[in-house]
Amino acid sequence: METLSRLRKEHGDILHGLDYLSRARDALEKNRQPPGRFFELAILFFREYADKYHHYKEEYLLFSVLARNKHGEIDLEMGALRYQHELNRDSIAKIEKSLNGYAMGNEIAVSTLLLNLSSFISVLKRHIYREDHLFFPMAQAELSETEKKTLRDQFDREEAAADGEIVVQKNRKRLEEMAALVSNI
C-alpha cells in the first residue's frame, strides 16, 4: 500500500532524528553539552516534519478510516496513539522551555531537558514500533482497494497543500545538520 510505504519512509527519517536525540541525551548524561543549535533544529524537525507533516496523515486520515472499519474494536488503541502524539508535543514544548537555562548552564534546566528527551525518545520509539508492526499491517489487510486509493488521493492533496517536497527536503537537511552537531560530542 503506497500510503503505508510513505509513512514508513517518514518513520525512517524520524528514527534518525531520535537516534541523534539519543546521542545528545547520552552526552548530557556524561556531562558533555551538545550545542544549543542542535536542540533548536531538533525542535523544528519534530514539530514540522514529525508532528505537522507526518502525524496529521496518520491521525486524521489513516487512523480514522481504520477505526471506522473496525467498528469501535480499536478505539482505545487509536486513542492511545493520539495520546502518545500529545505526550510528545508536550515533551517538545518542555524541551524548548529548558533551552535558555541550558544555555546558561543551569543544572535544573539540564535535568528538565534530560527528563523530556528521555520521555520523548522512549514514547516515540514505541509508538513507531506499534504502528509499523501492528497498525500498518492491520490497515493493509483491512482496507479495501477503494479505501486505499482514497487514502492515497488524500495523502497527495495534504502533501501538496503542505508543499510536501519542500518540507521533506528542508527537514532532511536539518537531520544532516543535527547529525553533524552530535557527531563530535
Tell me the per-residue pLDDT of 9-32, one tens digit each, with 9 for 90 and over.
999 999 999 999 999 999 999 999
Instruction: Say what the pTM is.
Output: 0.94
- Other residues' Cβ atoms within 10 Å of the Cβ of residue 117: 24
Degrees to nearest 5, angle at CA 176 with 175 and 177: 90
The answer to whether residues 51 and 87 touch, using CB atoms and an 8 Å cutoff, is no
Cell of 41: 533544529
Tell me the per-residue pLDDT of 56-82, one tens digit each, with 9 for 90 and over.
898 889 988 988 888 889 888 888 998
Half-sphere exposure of 153 (CA within 13 A, CB side): 6
Q: What pLDDT was estimated at residue 169?
A: 96
Helix, strand, coil content of the chain in percent (nearest 5)? 90, 0, 10
Residue spans of the domains in the chain: they are: 2-182
| Cα 116 to the center of its chain, rounded Å | 14
Q: Give domain 2-182's CATH number out of 1.10.357.10, 3.50.50.60, 3.30.1360.170, 1.20.120.520.
A: 1.20.120.520
